[in-house]
Amino acid sequence: MKRSHLVLFGLAAVLGVAAAGSAGCQATGGRSVFDNDGGSGGEDSSGKGGSGAGQAGNGGSSEDSVGAFVGPGASGSGGSGAQCSTDPSVDDDGDGFSEAAGDCNDCDANVSPGSIEVATNPDDPMAKPADEDCDMVVDNVAPASCDDNIAIEDSNPQNGARALDLCQFITPDEKKWGVLNAQYVRANGSAATYSRHIGIQSNFGTNVNVQKGTRLLTLSSGYARLPSQVGACGGISCSQIGSGIAPSGFPQDVPGCSGDTDINDDVGLQVTIRSPKNATGYKFKFKFYSFEYPEWVCSSFNDQFIALASPAPQGSINGNISFDQNTNPVSVNIAFFDVCDGCALGSGEMAGTGFNQWGDAGGTSWLQTQAPIKGGDEVTLRWAIWDTGDTSWDSTVLVDGFEWVANGGTVVVGTDPIEDPK
């Protein structure tokens, strides 16, 4: 059961203001940092938040050691002159941080140690570099890789999250953004024992590279191993898990194609994360392969990959945010199944993977899903895969490159092919 193309889109937007530089009572300049492609801000794996120490603006105002204005303060050159409270212990902009707690601009709720840094748009003549995360460094959006040297058989789910480029981990009492919890699970969210159905790879075969950092997460209804690696399946069907319980509403049938209702060899990674205060959404990349293609398109054997979000955002299907423009789930029926012998992208991206080596197979190009979120909210995401109808003709998904969207505007649930993947 297959579809022939997967398109979901992201609306991103223009416009957003993040005040630059000095903290507290007076905004000393606006910054328009938002482009119209829905890009994302960077992620700081260190989680550090600056003290917010400020300097006097060009208009002659002075600040105390935590960046609070102690005088009336005229507006700086080009400044707005907007006045906030001078009490450094008061959270003037309601973002959860006062100046005393490290907020370097308590006039702007998008600026605090709980925000994520956003790169200045070089094409916007009005854009001014700013320090959104208050670490005293402007435009430090590119984190150091946090997934170096993770072994393929590493069983720590936190390292599974790191392979997705989720680098910052926090405790519930911290106000910062980051990962609160990570665990390997079955499709219904129950705890899973680590098995060869999970793998952390530095590539996937000869022609498929990681999208961010140095590792990607591999989840498989077979074995998440390449033919050259210890523990490889060696064929189209391998099983260590057996029968499972699908989440409510799944397996999802494709319109006109009735699928089976039982699932097997289901495995997933589940994370609970808190978003940055200035985030409007998030996105991640994935790539799906299946031995079910092409023989079992529009059949009862409709292996599926889902990305469940809880709370479910508007536009999701039973919480699932990865599907095509026809609401087809990610399976052999997905619209952009275009990697195979005779497909638009050919079979090169199966080289060295076992797919198209142990049997006929196909896959998608790299795809990207995005979904909305409110700043400071918590969401639980579960990436899961399973065999539908039996334990045979296995399927595998690669997941990588999680990023926050923090450029303002509206983010809608959608999945698109990536025009220029690595």
pLDDT value of residue 255: 85
**Distance, CA of 315 to CA of 369 (rounded, Å):** 12
H or E element in which residue 158 lies: helix 157-163
352: Cβ contacts below 8 Å, ≥ 6 apart: 205, 206, 207, 226, 227, 228
pLDDT value of residue 143: 66
Question: Quick check: 270 and 382 in contact, CB under 8 A?
Answer: yes
Structure tokens at 220: 């498989």
Q: List, as one string, the DSSP characters of 23-87.
A: -TTB-----B---SS---B---TT-----------TT---B-TTS-B-S-----TT----B----
Q: Which amino acid is at 137?
A: V
Query: How many residues belong to the chain?
Result: 422
H or E element in which residue 159 lies: helix 157-163
Four-residue CA torsion sign, 224, 228, 230, 233: positive
Q: Which amino acid is at 150?
A: I
Q: Which amino acid is at 3?
A: R
Four-residue CA torsion sign, 1, 342, 10, 379: positive
pLDDT value of residue 381: 98
**Distance, CA of 364 to CA of 76 (rounded, Å):** 53
DSSP assigned state of 4: S
**Distance, CA of 321 to CA of 324 (rounded, Å):** 10
Structure tokens at 387: 């065999």
Q: Which amino acid is at 38?
A: G
DSSP assigned state of 350: G
> Judging by DSSP bridges, how do beta strands 243-244 and 304-310 pair with one another?
unpaired
**Distance, CA of 382 to CA of 309 (rounded, Å):** 7
User: Tokens 């008061």 — which residue?
Assistant: 90
Q: Is 106 left (phi over 0), alpha (psi -120 to 50) or beta?
A: alpha
Task: Determine how many CB atoms are found less than 10 A away from the CB of residue 242.
Answer: 9
pLDDT value of residue 407: 86
SS3 163: helix
SS3 315: coil
**Distance, CA of 283 to CA of 275 (rounded, Å):** 12
**Distance, CA of 97 to CA of 358 (rounded, Å):** 56
Task: Determine how many CB atoms are found less than 10 A away from the CB of residue 78.
Answer: 11
**Distance, CA of 242 to CA of 238 (rounded, Å):** 10
pLDDT value of residue 172: 96
- Enumerate residue ranges in the chain where pLDDT < 50: 1-81
Four-residue CA torsion sign, 159, 161, 163, 169: negative
pTM: 0.81
Whether omega before 113 lies within 30 degrees of 0, making that bond cis, reads no
